[in-house]
Chains A and B, each alone.
Chain A
Amino acid sequence: MSDLVLKGRAVKLGDNISTDDIISGRFAHLRSNLPELAKHVLEDTAPEFASRVRALSAAGAGIAIFVAGKNLGLGSSREHAPVVIKMSGIGAILAKSAARIFFRNAINQGLPVLLCDTDKIGDGDKLEINVTGGKISNLMSGVTLSCSKMPPIMSAILKEGGLIPYIQKHKDFVITG
């Protein structure tokens, strides 16, 4: 099977972006209306995020890639956090480290999260991500980054596009490798 390769541009933010930053608890009344909820993505922390992602998507230069520092997604278990990131137009996430529930939730939503040294990526950099092989090429600087491996079961879930499609297909958890 061929590798999953994504190309796009980085939208870079900093360390310790919590799920409250991504989608504040005060919008809980919108959680059954995801398109409305998604309008508030990172509203308090990076108000320009949504419009930048939209502009990148409109420019047609591949996907928008959310690049963060350490401990991305700390805090609440709300799966709405990766949901609104995905709905904003982000196609992949890179971070130095990610909180475990957020990491698992993003994969369950079919949104690739790869952990690597994001100091080597600048805002706006053009990147090529080999999700299957866990390699990132920075097409601006020429630097290649390798990512930490995820457990095979997570790769399998990601490959199916998330946990729900995975379960629809396999009807159960299947451990391989």
Chain B
Amino acid sequence: MGKTLAEKILSLKSHSEARAGDVVIADVDLAFVQDTTGPLTIRQFKESGFKALAKPQQAIIFLDHAAPSPARQISNDHILLRRFAEETGCRIYEVGEGICHELVVENFANPGDVIIGADSHTVTAGALGALATGMGSSDVAVALALGKTWFRVPESLLIELSGVLPRGVYVKDLILYLIGQIGADGATYKALEFGGKALAQITMSQRLTIANMAVEAGAKVGLFPSDRITRDFLKEHGRGDKYKPLSPDGGANYERVIPVNLDQLEPMLSLPHAVDSVRPAAQVKGVKIQQAFIGTCTNGRVEDLAVAAEILKGKKRHPGTRLLIAPASRQVLIQAMDEGYVRALIEAGAAILPPGCAACLGLHQGVLGDGEVCVSTANRNFKGRMGNPESMIYLASPATAAASAIKGEITDPREVM
């Protein structure tokens, strides 16, 4: 019987015939932590009696979540992390270099890899055909030491994409729509695998947005096949030799096939305080906003800033709305400057934050006030997510966020394009 992508990768990495439901031990190609999960990982690593990393060059610490540090305790955690990197020889990405998931994708992830990170959005690298998933600190501590971990091989749902996105509609709208359909637990313990004719038109940046949010449906991973677009991306990033084609077998066993026709989609928002509470922009427009935030591992790439800059160019943000922009990485920021997007955004009234998680998790750089409303391109709108349980977060595409910043209220981007 044919295999799904998840079964194929886990078979390869566990040197066994991995089938959905099996428990396997798989080699880990890359294991990483960030600055809010790393300190616990390090303590657990030491408590276990480990001294050395299995693969120091495939172990990474990212200082991205609270970077630059907003508090003394976090600054001390950063010291702990830097010391661990010195002691063990693992890699470390400093403050301002970017978000862990973006840097993993730019520099490390390859088709067929097993990647684990102490961060739930590790699933992002599934866009490159890597079995990438988030785990807790203990699991990552052990994987850092042993170079392997255990997996229950997931059942897969196939999302079959057809058609073309209409003007003003983006893949963020697609993934919000899908999560609205299947629910925040619709893929729990399972893999989401994306396929269908439309794939050939979906860029790597767009695939990353989609894979990133797989975990918001509970999925273990959001997997894309490795194809021409993967090959071109790897080439551009100096890893052309790491390309290998990877697709599910014909006759693979999918628990469910969900067809989505892109032609039918419209701009969508996820309403506070649940990611799967999804409505078309047409039903939500008019809600006043005090902040628009464009960035994060979901939508902080050059393509996203380009969409926002296009809409905001020559216009001004609404005087009652702050506009915060955080590029996902230094590379993204440089390219967005070269293309003139940064200038357009600043002239429209944006505040540019350093590459990193910025306002996404409510620690710094954009904490909301009581009763305030934010339109964000992030992936989560849980109560209190942006630092204040008395605030409201609507999730949307960069286009919807940019359009809303201009009008000072939730706006269908097609009205300003």
Binding site for B on A (CB under 8 A): 16, 18, 20-21, 24-26, 28-33, 44-45, 70-71, 74-80, 83, 97, 99-101, 104-105, 108-109, 151-153, 162-164, 167-168, 172-173, 175
A101 to B362, CA, bound (A): 21
Smallest Cβ-Cβ distance to A98: which chain B residue? B188
Q: Is the CB of B25 within 8 A of A175?
A: yes
Q: State whether A25 and B383 are in contact (beta carbons under 8 Å apart), knowing that A77-B118, A167-B48, A175-B23 are contacts in the complex.
A: no
Q: Is the CB of A24 within 8 A of B362?
A: yes
Q: State whether A164 and B40 are in contact (beta carbons under 8 Å apart), knowing that A25-B387, A31-B77, A77-B119 are contacts in the complex.
A: no
Binding site for A on B (CB under 8 A): 23-25, 36-37, 39-40, 44, 47-49, 65-66, 70-74, 76-77, 80, 117-120, 122, 134-139, 141-142, 146, 148-150, 152, 184-185, 188-189, 218, 220, 274, 361-363, 367, 380, 382-385, 387-389
Q: Is the CB of B66 within 8 A of A21?
A: no
Q: Is the CB of B384 within 8 A of A79?
A: no
Smallest Cβ-Cβ distance to A106: which chain B residue? B136
Q: Is the CB of A31 within 8 A of B40?
A: yes
Residues of B with C-beta under 8 A to A164: 44, 47-48, 138, 141
A151 to B23, CA, bound (A): 7
Q: Is the CB of B36 within 8 A of A26?
A: no
Q: Is the CB of A26 within 8 A of B134?
A: no
Smallest Cβ-Cβ distance to A177: which chain B residue? B23
Q: State whether A28 and B36 are in contact (beta carbons under 8 Å apart), knowing that A75-B382, A99-B218 are contacts in the complex.
A: yes
Residues of A with C-beta under 8 A to B148: 173
A172 to B143, CA, bound (A): 10
Q: Is the CB of A31 within 8 A of B36?
A: yes
Residues of A with C-beta under 8 A to B37: 77-79
Residues of A with C-beta under 8 A to B185: 70-71, 74, 97, 99
Q: Is the CB of A173 within 8 A of B150?
A: yes
Min CB–CB distance B32 → chain A (angstroms) = 11
Q: Is the CB of A25 within 8 A of B23?
A: no
Q: Is the CB of A16 within 8 A of B184?
A: yes
Q: Is the CB of B77 within 8 A of A168?
A: no
Q: Is the CB of A32 within 8 A of B135?
A: no
Interface centre among B138, B139, B150, B363 (most CB of A within 10 A): B138
A21 to B117, CA, bound (A): 22
Q: Is the CB of A79 within 8 A of B73?
A: no
Q: Is the CB of B389 within 8 A of A44?
A: yes
Residues of A with C-beta under 8 A to B387: 24-26
Q: Is the CB of B380 within 8 A of A172?
A: no
Q: Is the CB of A20 within 8 A of B385?
A: yes
